[in-house]
Chain A
């Protein structure tokens, strides 16, 4: 036998850490849980707002940004960074 692993493989051990009902905000990377069936959801941590699509009733994903909201927030943040000399 080529390889008989006694413990879990990398794939198996990582799979145990899967989360359901959540996705990461792609701006701040915090895992967030939109209420079931929500069409849009504002990240409670950074305020960026996302359009939500449900793969199944318990499996949400980001469809895309709420364009006007996120464009405005990004512009404000970038302007703040530039003024702060970052």
Chain B
């Protein structure tokens, strides 16, 4: 059946491996993926551990629906205490790894200790081996996968790996799979690097038995029709996520020159349609019909002829919007470098843009940059910084420590210009015109984050009745909702709703593009209740799934509070409040976030969660969610 996959505890210090079944009671409480990982994290990571020390624990998992007949269920989750923020570390990626891990017999891996020398894990049909990784240590993400497949003699092996950035403990190194699928944000690649764990290779042929196969197939047809008929899906299938740039840069929602402007003018060369000119065909993740991943060959310059995939919307902002670069080739090359080194491109772009502002303001000098002219719009400098950060060279070594540590080292007023929350750089979006988006990044459990709670549909000017329909399901809500993205009213509920929705998606293992994220018409709790039942046999109502997500999010909050988080960490850089926007359509020009209204929003957001005024879950909330006795050490 779909629920008989096991959890494995792997101790890299001792070499001991233990496997256990996952009780149905825990499935009903946390489903799988990110949800169960957060339970495990709260239970297995001791308070105050060094995130790069042997006592931190890495968690790798598949969502509960992965490799079933449900659509777009490809997601792998990686967790642990973040080397970047010291709070929740959590990364999520598509591709083909998680399905293979389930076919190989496992849903969750709990990886403890530190190997004496570089190793990798080989997981196949219920067996786990720890193997020597000396011939792949130092290799890029792409090279590693090729070598391991050759070594094990099977081209179908799926591999989760770190690149050189993870080995060098760049605090925002990614875990990667395939050519470009990235478990980004919060430095899970550095966590694996700190354990001398280069990669995990999986191959499995163990059947996943579907509980109600005919119903699952029939319903999936309806589901797929809804997904593929959405305009957003059709657009993504043609030109990928860079399509978003066409809208956000048109109205002025793009952070440019670090945070000095909110639109990258005359940037036609990096628009999705320009990228489409070098696109050699779209690809998809396991079980997905949208196929939003572009494939390209670099057409010019020193990297001419190199194959890679993407770039995504995030790369447009990271390598062009923030550093003020407008050349397509810069975007293609930097995207490739981030992929082969295995780095969070949002951090690379943000921190480089921050350094550019510091350079232009005289806080950093030529001496600090080893002669590199770190000015906005210098495409060569952007490319060079990708190398220097990954290799920890010069200023790159300082930035590789993450923004807060780098600001401490650089000193002067550098912290004033750093756009971050909880030590994590923000996406390239400029939220001064959109309080709901600003609240989402301020309160995200892993730091400044567009994938934790972003109510993107708030930008669509949807009529109030439509908003009411979306935001009153599956739990009742009769508070305010407005179509105007500049409003503050009702937005805390939207942020809370999306936060819960995205947590649920991550527990199930579904891609966020298959829910109410970019498309208002995306499936959510009502559909998942059916899909879950048909595929796994688990009977859970839409409200039950909502409650699982709430429970898991509260585990994240508990983890962060235990690590010292306070209400003041749910806040934004002063520039959001003090520096008005200067570009874009008239409605977003001259916008700042109002401090008082923003503080009120945070209070309301806490109330929706059942947290007190300090952002601490009340005893009643913990009891309602059945997590008042954690850590319980059931698993």
Contacts and interface: CB of A to CB of B under 8 A. Distances in A.
Interface of A: 1-3, 5, 9-15, 17-18, 24, 26-27, 29, 48, 50-51, 53, 55-56, 59, 61-65, 67, 70-71, 74, 77-78, 81
A1 B534 CA distance: 9
A19 B544 CA distance: 33
B524 A10 contact: yes
Main secondary structure of the interface of A (DSSP, over half): mixed
Contact of A78 (B249, B266, B589): B589
A50 B268 CA distance: 12
Contacts of B542: 3
B249 A48 contact: no
Q: Of A12, A13, A64, which is in contact with the most chain B CB atoms at under 10 Å from its CB?
A: A64
Contact of B246 (A15, A63, A78): A63
A67 B265 contact: yes
Contacts of B268: 51, 64
B235 A14 contact: no
B226 to A, nearest CB: 6
Interface string B312-329: 000000000000000000
A12 B226 contact: yes
B20 interface: no
Interface string B440-471: 00000000000000000000110000100110
Nearest to B523: A11
A53 B231 CA distance: 14
Nearest to A1: B533
Interface string B64-77: 00000000000000
Nearest to A8: B526
B110 to A, nearest CB: 29
A67 B230 contact: no
B415 interface: no
Contacts of A53: 239, 246, 272-273
B530 interface: yes
Given A12-B226, A14-B466, A67-B266, A62 B247 contact: yes
B381 to A, nearest CB: 25
Contacts of B530: 2-3
Interface stretch (B181-189, B346-354, B556-564, B580-588): B580-588
A12 B473 CA distance: 13
Nearest to B222: A12
Contacts of B473: 10
A48 to B, nearest CB: 7
Contacts of B238: 55
Contact of A74 (B239, B544, B585): B585
B417 interface: no
Contacts of B585: 26-27, 48, 70, 74
B466 A63 contact: no
Nearest to B538: A2
Nearest to B472: A10
B520 interface: yes
10 contacts: A2-B530, A10-B469, A12-B226, A26-B250, A26-B251, A27-B586, A61-B243, A61-B246, A62-B246, A63-B246
Nearest to B212: A1
A77 B541 CA distance: 50
Contact of A59 (B234, B246, B527, B589): B234
